[in-house]
Structure 1
Amino acid sequence: MKFGPKSTVMAILTAAALALTACGGGGTSTNGGAATTTLTIGLLQDLVSFEPADAHIGHTMPYYQAVYDTLILRAPDGELKPMIAESWEYNAENTVLTLKLRTDVTFNDGAKLDATAVKANLDHFKKAKGRDAYQVASLESVAVVDPATVAVTLSEPDPAFTYYLSLAAGLMGSPAALGTTGIKTVPAGSGPYELDTTNTVKGSQYVFTKRANYWNKDLQKFDKVTMKFLQDVTARTNAIVSGQVDATLLDPKTSKQAVAAGLTLTTSQVDWQGLLLMDRDGKVTPELANPKVRQAMNYAFDRKTILEQQYLGEGTPTNQVFGPESGAYVDELDGSYPYDPAKAKALLAEAGYPNGFELKIPTMTGFEAITATVQQQLGDIGIKVQLETIPAANYVPDLAAAKYSAAVFNLYQAEPWVAINQMISTSALYNPFKSTTPELATMIDAVQNGGEQSAEKAKDVNKYVTDNAWFVPFFRLNQMYLTNKKITVEPQLQQAIPSIYNYAPAK
């Protein structure tokens, strides 16, 4: 059985692209010679600006990590480790976080990174209301206790706050530059590298050189790091195969070509893909208010076959939205909804819809194949799906505005509290209809106030939304990261691309 149109296989590399090999990425070859001293990465998103408040979790973080330290370092396995903050501790109520800071760190403009600078950064990040401002939603105030100590007061417990301090909220810029026009193009940070403005071309490539007198030489593994913006997957494939870049993210089809050319593949699972059933109270589509209808939709999908046909099997079928490394994963939930169209039809009949119903969902460029599959699979149990094509730029805003009852999407398998506030809580972006129940609200409250048991308590939330079919998860997709033989890289837990600290010259 085939589901939806086959995705177009990438075109053969052009001779022109191959001719660019001389413009290669890494420096000296490791084949019997000295280790490389340069690193070139192909990134699929461009930098908005170097202003820390403009930083966004995901594909643009390496730009910022090159020039800014974070308060806390997130190791490849997800463990939070000291960086600018040498230690941190909450009070008994988990509402005051005290951070003890290093005393030997300076910004590249010569200013000292002390408690006053940390307060200036956190205050600025909250006031600026950037893309990741949600990371400091619980931040109430920052107090300077002494030059090496800050006390952060939260309006309510936030189990993810220290995690956020390893991301955009934790980036430290020189206070004198924060909020200025200059920092948008020339960063002022304390990070391991400095921007080479002469060889940087906005929208094309960003070149960084090793910073003298940096406090942690172990993080300066290269003399020069170049990040090339290559939005098109064909361009990234050409670049990695021809040697223009040392590392980049591809997809299942193009990665096979790269592996055949001798590149090294590293896989990790970051996103789950599936159907968001957002109108759970039936405000637009009354049928979705019935849990049996939502459960029927879960039984309608042959996840294994879809994964093979759409993504060459690169992933793992799933019935839950929390990933195995999240702490909230429940192994037995992945057997909740086996492919069973007969059972799906029976549940629809029990719910009072033996002839199905109509459902409109959006689609956009890149989602044509998977949304066509959704249309076909739901059509097989009697649900008539109308696909409405919208611009990619409108996709998330339209979902957030509750313009659709359901939609296909890829969502990040984050830490439990992050995931809950991404798609389940009443303030979540992907819960635009504000669905909730008293039972679920109690479970979410337990996670928020659970302290070290927060992830364990999130298993109850996971079980609830799975049993009540809040979503139709299809699979956890493999991220396909390719590198050449000049470098090594460790994948970063819950990130599609590694942190800048995870690369090293091959030995």
Structure 2
Amino acid sequence: MNLKSTPVAAAVFVALACLGTTAGAVTLKIGNQGDALSMDPHSLNESLQLTVLENVFETLVSRGPDYKLTPGLATAWKQTSPTVWHFDLRKNVQFHDGTPFTADDVIFSYERAKSDGSDMKTYVGQVKEIRKINDHSIDVVTNAPFPILPELFYRWFIMSKKWCEANQATRPVDRRKGIENAASFRANGTGPYRVRERQPNVRTTFTRNGNYWGKVQGNVDEVIFNVIGNDATRVAALLSGEVDVMEPVPVQDVDRIKSASNLKVLQGPELRVIFLGMDQKRDELLFSNVKGKNPFKDKRVRQAFYQAIDIEGIKRSVMRGASTPIAEMFPAQVKGFAPDLNKRLPYDPEASKKLLAEAGYPSGFEVAMNCPNDRYVNDGAICQAVAANLARVGVKIKLEVETKGTYFPKILRRDTSFYMLGWTSSTVDAHNVLYSIMSSPGEGGRGQFNLGAYSNARVDELTEKIASETDDKKRTDMIHEAIKIHEDDIGHIPLHQQALNWGARKNIELVQLPGDEMVWKYITVK
């Protein structure tokens, strides 16, 4: 008899599934607008994916509830020479499959993170080599002095060398090329939770790792991560009790959730800045009616686009006040922010029209704009507002709004002429943004997310010097200069810093980190 087709088989399956939890286990049901696109921690440098996977995988250096650096898989670190950092690795740590964690896993993860297809090159790009001292001790050698190396390692996850080799997953999943492997759907980390069942873009179930080396401050045994893309449906799920926590709360529903007697909204500034990028490299745009030249190579065109955008109108009508317009590529909470340079160019459609005419486009032109609709707060609506603003100055936008599952592979291939992106400085330092977004694309992950290939030799030079400078005043002055050059060039068009809005039942205690990380080991259900 084929049990697969019988009611008995279904009952057996349910019974087996229940073996992963014990009676009285605490389950947390989360509703999010999107999903982690892969279980591979080196495949996509995207905040939602990383915040989900940081509960499964771990880094050498972590951050505590106060967002300060704290030991992770490394118990201590120190700089032993200008270009060498010594790390002591934690002993008696096991991966979920029982394999011991050693220095070999760190070295393997370094090679994997810097290899072709990796989206995490910026986190190891400053590293020249890693030397194994013994199974629980390594020296990290940098290309040049790099005083903030521990901060950089906060988002570099360690994988099991043995597991990856056994499962033909020694190379990262390449989202740009659609290449998948075992790490796409399965995970073997050292973290407090392990993957039990994976249904991409539907739900993923995680259970507590009974062999976890560290302390779990909360009491959650099981996490069911549900993907609920529709805002109204997600809110309804929280109101009905179908989910316990949801994010993001649509800005128009914040007051409604606050007014519910059994619910609360956690709010705070996020480190993320939402901005627009333009292809400034190709001699002819891929998606425009302008042939034989690239309008975005002309600063007057970039400035015209900037001044055509009514950012206060977007804040008022689209964001319902839950955003902070910004002129810089990182917010005030990030080291290096320059208050005196945080002055946006004025919204001025007439000036925009004049600039377009001077650049040779008195009637404007057409260009495609790529945007996600399930990644940032009101992302699709923001892009619609930008398109409407640009239409008033004669620019016809062909708006292409899509799920992040298809959006990110496209723009990461640089198959775009004009796009939206959000960026969070995981190091809480300006260098992260300068190196990843504002520098010319190059080796070691430099400019890996500068998808329009903005390039200024002086910004590149300053970024390299900033990486090594230990004198705080000199470093700050150089950051200031780089910001000013980028603003004068209109290398990108910053829009705003978005706010965090999480909804939860009142009996749930959460820690809301400014990088939009939801760490499950900090969650308590009362």
Question: TM-score with structure 2 length normalisation?
Answer: 0.76
Alpha-carbon distance between aligned partners in 2 of 1:467 and 1:299, rounded to the nearest angstrom: 13
Paired residues of 2:57 and 2:157 also in contact (CA < 8 A): no
2:406 is aligned with 1:386: no
1:143 offset after TM fit, Å? 1.7
Q: Give 1:222's aligned residue.
A: 219
Query: Partner residue of 1:357?
Result: 364
Query: What residue in structure 1 maps to residue 176 of structure 2?
Result: none
Match of 1:244 in 2: 242
Cα 1:386/1:119, change in 2 over 3 Å: closer
Kindly indicate whether residue 520 of structure 2 is the aligned counterpart of residue 503 of structure 1: no
1:309 is displaced (CA, Å) by 0.9
Q: Which residue of 1 aligns with 2:389?
A: 377
Shift of 1:55: 6.7
Q: Which moved more, 1:451-460 or 1:271-280?
A: 451-460
Match of 2:315 in 1: 307
Q: Which residue of 2 aligns with 1:260?
A: 259
d(CA) in 2 for partners of 1:211 and 1:122?
Answer: 25
Q: What residue in structure 1 maps to residue 279 of structure 2?
A: 278
CA distance in 2, matches of 1:397, 1:184: 15
1:442 aligned counterpart, secondary structure: helix
Give yes or no for the alignment of 1:436 onto 2:455. yes
The CA deviation at 1:316 is 0.9
Q: Does structure 1 retain, via aligned residues, the 8 Å contact 2:264–2:504?
A: yes
Identity %: 19
Is contact 1:72–1:83 with CA below 8 Å preserved after alignment? yes
**Are 2:61 and 2:73, in contact at CA under 8 Å, matched by a contact in 1?**
yes
1:98–1:150 Cα contact (<8 Å) kept: yes
User: Any idea what the Cα deviations from partners look like across 1:470-504, whole Å, max 9, x if unmatched?
Assistant: 22222222232112112122221223x42334423
Q: 1:445 corresponds to which residue? A: 464
How far the C-alpha of 1:212 sits from its partner, in A, is: 3.7
Q: Kindly tell me: are residues 282 and 325 of structure 1, through their superposed partners in 2, closer, same or farther at Cα, counting changes over 3 Å?
A: farther
Q: Does 1:180 align with 2:204?
A: no
SS in 1 for 2:162: coil
* Number of aligned positions between the proteins: 463
Query: Does the 8 Å CA contact 1:280/1:470 hold for their aligned counterparts?
Result: no
Matched letter for residue 132 of structure 2: V
Q: Measure, in 2, the Cα distance between the counterparts of 1:104 and 1:503.
A: 25
Match of 2:124 in 1: 136
Higher mean C-alpha deviation, range 261-270 or range 395-404: 395-404
Which residue pairs with 2:82 in the alignment?
93
- The SS at the match of 2:246 is strand
Counterparts of residues 10-25 of structure 1 (less than 5 Å): none
Retained in 1: the 8 A contact 2:220–2:521? Answer: no
> Structure 1 261/149 Cα, relative in aligned 2: closer, same or farther at 3 Å?
same
Deviations 1:438-477 (A, max 9, x none): 3222222222222574566333222221122222222222
Aligned partner of residue 177 in structure 1, secondary structure: helix
Indicate the residue corresponding to 2:10 in structure 1: none
Equivalence for 2:7: none
CA contact (8 A) 1:191 1:214 kept: yes
Match of 2:486 in 1: 465
* Distance 1:436-1:255 versus aligned 2 partners, 3 A rule: same
Query: How far apart, in 2, do the equivalents of 1:288 and 1:277 lie?
Result: 6
Residue 242 of structure 1 and its aligned partner are, at CA, apart by 1.9
Local SS of the residue matching 2:55: helix
In the TM superposition, residue 315 of structure 1 has moved relative to its aligned partner by 0.6
329-338 or 280-289, larger mean C-alpha shift: 280-289
Aligned to 2:69: 80
Query: Paired residue for 2:8?
Result: none
CA distance in 2, matches of 1:462, 1:385: 30
CA-atom RMSD in angstroms: 3.5
1:141-189 CA-to-partner distances (Å, cap 9, x unmatched) read 322213331112234556664334222x23353x432343377666443
The one-letter amino acid paired with 1:98 is H
Normalised to the residue count of structure 1, the TM-score between the two structures is 0.78
Residue 438 of structure 2 is aligned to residue 424 of structure 1: yes
Report deviation, 1:108.
Answer: 4.1
**Tell me, which stretches of 5 or more residues in structure 2 are unaligned?**
1-20, 168-181, 286-292, 374-378, 442-446
When residues 354 and 220 of structure 1 are mapped into structure 2, their CA distance, relative to the original with a 3 A threshold, is closer
Taking the aligned partners of 1:379 and 1:109, their CA distance within structure 2 comes to 56
How far the C-alpha of 1:360 sits from its partner, in A, is 0.9
| Equivalent runs, 1:329-344 vs 2, <5 Å | 329-344=337-352
Equivalent-residue separation in structure 2 for 1:371 and 1:132 (angstroms): 27
Q: CA deviation at 1:292?
A: 3.9
In the other structure, the counterpart of 1:23 is: none
**Tell me, what secondary structure is at the counterpart of 2:317?**
helix
